[in-house]
Structure 1
Amino acid sequence: MRTEHDLLGEREVPDEAYYGIQTLRAVENFSITGIKLNLYPQLIYAFAKVKSAAARANFDLGILDKERYEAIEQACTEVAEGKFNKEFIVDMIQGGAGTSTNMNANEVIANRALELLRHKKGEYTYCHPNNHVNLSQSTNDAYPTAVKIALYSGNKPLTEELQKLIASMHKKAAEFSSVLKMGRTQLQDAVPMTLGQTFEAYAVTLTEEVERLNENARLFLEINMGATAIGTGINSEPGYVEKVTAHLKEITSMPLVSSPDLIEATQDTGSFVMYSSSVKRLAVKLSKICNDLRLLSSGPRCGINEINLPPMQPGSSIMPGKVNPVIPEAVNQTAFKVIGNDLSVTLASEAGQLELNVFEPIIAFSLFQSQDMLCRAMETLRKRCIDGITANAGLCRDMVYKSIGLVTAVNPFIGYEAASEIAKTALKTGRAVYDLVLEQGLLTRAQLDDILNPENMTHPRKICT
């Protein structure tokens, strides 16, 4: 063990640990979720890049000597490479507006830098977590900047997985392009369509979300480095803002810009709210699609049964032979959690006071979790459900021709009143619309067959009167 001290006194820290006393206190204080920082390594790597950029700027300005700068820079590089993930042990939810996360990073980087300088961990005279690693910074600019960089990075795998799912939907749309089925509104028979049109609609509605996510992720490119405590830049050198932003832009290869008003930027969480809303919107659409898949595959004998979902596991401990739509169900539940996370982000953002929002940790946790869960859920949906869906084409066609909704197709040719009577009679007697139209001599068989041609029923056509 080694002895470290802080404002509140001394504590024993495991000698092999790269974290220090403030991290230790945070672990003791915030045993909340059991989910540690290292579950989201993108945040750790973003912090390392922020600290590296700060060290470079401080060296440029002559307030950090070359020896310490080079040690800090090397330590940041190693942290960004994932070599110290296990040292980031603070709970994702914490008091202090992210100070514990910032100090976890400062201590790990400082102690690794001490090793590089051939000193022992904890010999902070030679490289101090606050005096050197955190130089010209506050949690209030370092933490939100790191979170934004991590979320911006996390948006890429999310949209890539979304695009893979969209491609699968397009593929199914092409595969089912000739499968005639009955469309439904309010769970009632409506008008004919193809199963391909159903899946193409899913592809199109999800395609819209790619740009929404990217558009809102771009809001994260405006950062407040150099704001320090509240945006006034206290304890930073003139010119630091420009230098640290330029270095961070180079390190991350992101088109980062400094906010035009650092006081406003330090208290504003609007970018998180906007991005969360787009993530929620994607979740809502995915859940709606999964609701449809469960309905369309319901049965197999007493439901709609237009499609077959690939069987993944036995569905019941008591009902032999039962197979449930477990993949869509899991995605539904993921969507519910993401929607709840969006509410957490909204409430946390609204609860900010004066010059700082202290609830950024729950905002960050919610958004990282939503990104991660949706990415996994979409991959699961694609691989274990969408790609393996098959159509019951014969049943789909039979339901169209037995449906009272078929009367809509003949409505322009026989008139609304006659069509209404046909529908009424069909419902009362159980007879087919096709047979009743012929029996009453409203149309010839040739005319009726032409009207009920799948191509004519599923696309606009000129009505000749």
Structure 2
Amino acid sequence: MKDERIETDLIGSLAIPANALYGVHTRRAELNFDVSGHRLRDFPELVQSMAMVKKAAALANAELGLLPKEKAQAILLACDDLIALNGLDENFPVDMMQGGAGTSTNMNVNEVITNLALLKLGARIGDYTKLHPNDDVNLSQSTNDVYPTALRLTILRVSESLISSQVGLRDSFRMKADEYAQALKVGRTQLQDAVPMTAGQEFGAMADLIDEDITQVQSAAKLLREVNLGGSAIGTSINVPRGFAAIAIMHLTEISGIQVAPARNLIEATSDTGGFVSFSSVLKRIAVKLTKICNDLRLLSSGPRGGFGELRLPPVQAGSSIMPGKVNPVIPEMMNQIGFQVIGNDLTVTLAASAGQLQLNAMEPVIVLNILQSMRMLSRGMEVFKQRCVDGIEVDVDRCKTLLDQSLVLATPLAMVVGYNNAAYLSKKALTEKRELRQVVEEEGSLDLDQIEQLFERSSDFADPLSLRA
């Protein structure tokens, strides 16, 4: 048929759409692994990284005299098209969940680069006598060094977006900390009233929870800068010319703008997935902390009249099909669910990393799928969380003050003045008689008026209760 062409591999012949830039290996993988619905085209960052590796390899091969100038130039131009994407996404149909340790992804990229390059040479798509996916585009390479190198490079590149989202969310909480620096409220432990604090301090702690993880992402990313490019199949550099690795890695750094370096032991680096485990663990850490923050926001905004009601989250949609006027904390709930998914993804990464055998881990495809999914969800989630929730949070200062006055949290600084037992007595009396602690303290004459005023009205003295002593 005119709309198809026939290509052949060791398995046999297969019909391929005539204008498709991929070939028989890609088509066979497309048929074999139609399982997850997550395609290579859905992760253009990975396609770009693969093209960067292929470009670096072509430059190295050309410099070593292994690749004729005309072929090299066509390959380089094809790689540039992929790095720019240029509407070529649909040519990457292979499922991210694939057997073969990433061979299908590598061949998909090899075939697309080859056919793009053939067009630039004035040849027809599929004429592999002019330029070959394995012999030319994959020259001096193996899936087992190209694929993991591209995975590491992709995570390093995407981490910049992740960190940007973290910084934006952190800064939003810091702004809230400044805005409500003087808003007094009840601090709680184990969901029970504990000691006084300010809403600003609470927001500031949330900001620092996020800030700590920015450093963790940067630290974990460093473990991925060592790549095994040039190691070939198992790290012994079979079929790789002397000097190729150093030249290719130098070009890869220039092309990507990401500093990468050759692994110290290529055999170890080819089979080891420890860097992925560490990075995924940091993503889990971020998810756990964000889940805690969102749980707190949901609790502090609960009610609004029958719960804590200290915060007002921005209303973004109606909360019920049956309860008029109800508004739910849907953005924090979304972030909670992202957190649960990321935590589950980390378990998948852990299990896949532990499944490596001898000189290769064939489970890298599911590792990168889960890490990239987690990074994408966290990045997008934090941006939405910032814009549609945190930026618009309001503290109900009056409600916070009312709950503070009705609580017994000032018993803690009071104990520094009148002693623990006396403070416990005054607190119990206030609780039993359902009265404010201030009223009981005034009635008992435990403090003079100046001390009472200082204790119950001046937040700056909470940190220095000794100043209350006569």
TM-score of Structure 1 vs Structure 2, range by shorter chain: over 0.9
The offset of 1:285, in angstroms, is 0.8
The offset of 1:406, in angstroms, is 2.2
Equivalent-residue separation in structure 2 for 1:23 and 1:426 (angstroms): 76
Equivalent-residue separation in structure 2 for 1:49 and 1:194 (angstroms): 51
Aligned partner of 1:63 in structure 2 is 66
| Alignment gaps of 5+ in structure 2 | none
Please give the per-residue CA displacement for 1:331-359, whole angstroms capped at 9, x wherever unaligned: 00001111111111111111111100100
Equivalent-residue separation in structure 2 for 1:459 and 1:160 (angstroms): 35
Equivalent-residue separation in structure 2 for 1:82 and 1:460 (angstroms): 61
Alignment of 1:367-382 (within 5 A): 367-382=371-386
Pair 20,454 (structure 1): closer, same or farther in 2 beyond 3 Å: farther
Please give the per-residue CA displacement for 1:188-225, whole angstroms capped at 9, x wherever unaligned: 00011000111011111111111110111122211000
Equivalent-residue separation in structure 2 for 1:243 and 1:376 (angstroms): 36
1:160 to 2:176 alignment: no
1:211 to 2:226 alignment: no
- Matched letter for residue 346 of structure 1: T
Aligned partner of 2:345 in structure 1 is 341
Aligned partner of 1:227 in structure 2 is 231
- State the secondary structure of the residue aligned to 2:14: strand
Aligned partner of 1:150 in structure 2 is 154
- State the secondary structure of the residue aligned to 2:326: coil
Aligned partner of 1:25 in structure 2 is 28
Check whether the contact 2:416–2:466 (CA below 8 A) recurs between aligned residues: no
The aligned length equals 465
Equivalent-residue separation in structure 2 for 1:43 and 1:302 (angstroms): 49
Please give the per-residue CA displacement for 1:237-295, whole angstroms capped at 9, x wherever unaligned: 11111111111122112221100110000001111111111111111111110000000
Equivalent-residue separation in structure 1 for 2:75 and 2:60 (angstroms): 12
The offset of 1:86, in angstroms, is 1.6
Aligned partner of 1:36 in structure 2 is 39
1:287 to 2:287 alignment: no
| Alignment gaps of 5+ in structure 1 | none
The offset of 1:462, in angstroms, is 3.7
Pair 348,458 (structure 1): closer, same or farther in 2 beyond 3 Å: farther
Please give the per-residue CA displacement for 1:94-114, whole angstroms capped at 9, x wherever unaligned: 101101000000000011111
Aligned partner of 2:84 in structure 1 is 81
1:45 to 41, 45, 48: 48
- Matched letter for residue 38 of structure 1: R
1:129 to 2:133 alignment: yes
Please give the per-residue CA displacement for 1:357-410, whole angstroms capped at 9, x wherever unaligned: 100001100111111100111011100001111111111011111102221121
Please give the per-residue CA displacement for 1:269-327, whole angstroms capped at 9, x wherever unaligned: 11111111111111111111000000000001100000100001110111111100000
**% identical aligned pairs:** 48
Aligned partner of 1:264 in structure 2 is 268
The offset of 1:453, in angstroms, is 3.0
1:8 to 2:38 alignment: no
The offset of 1:452, in angstroms, is 2.2
Equivalent-residue separation in structure 2 for 1:253 and 1:379 (angstroms): 25
1:447 to 431, 451, 456: 451
The offset of 1:454, in angstroms, is 3.4
Check whether the contact 2:156–2:258 (CA below 8 A) recurs between aligned residues: no
Cα RMSD for the two superposed structures: 1.1
Equivalent-residue separation in structure 1 for 2:189 and 2:104 (angstroms): 53
- State the secondary structure of the residue aligned to 1:193: strand
4+ residue segments displaced more than 3 Å: 460-465
- State the secondary structure of the residue aligned to 1:3: strand
Equivalent-residue separation in structure 2 for 1:180 and 1:250 (angstroms): 53
Check whether the contact 1:231–1:266 (CA below 8 A) recurs between aligned residues: yes
Equivalent-residue separation in structure 1 for 2:466 and 2:135 (angstroms): 78
Please give the per-residue CA displacement for 1:421-447, whole angstroms capped at 9, x wherever unaligned: 112222211111111111111112221
Check whether the contact 2:416–2:465 (CA below 8 A) recurs between aligned residues: no
Equivalent-residue separation in structure 2 for 1:447 and 1:118 (angstroms): 91
Aligned partner of 2:188 in structure 1 is 184
Aligned partner of 2:355 in structure 1 is 351
Equivalent-residue separation in structure 2 for 1:186 and 1:435 (angstroms): 27
Alignment of 1:397-412 (within 5 A): 397-412=401-416
Equivalent-residue separation in structure 1 for 2:412 and 2:457 (angstroms): 14
- State the secondary structure of the residue aligned to 1:192: strand
Q: Could you tell me the TM-score, scaled by structure 1's length? A: 0.98
Q: Could you tell me the TM-score, scaled by structure 2's length? A: 0.97
The offset of 1:461, in angstroms, is 4.7
Equivalent-residue separation in structure 1 for 2:424 and 2:462 (angstroms): 21
Aligned partner of 2:112 in structure 1 is 108
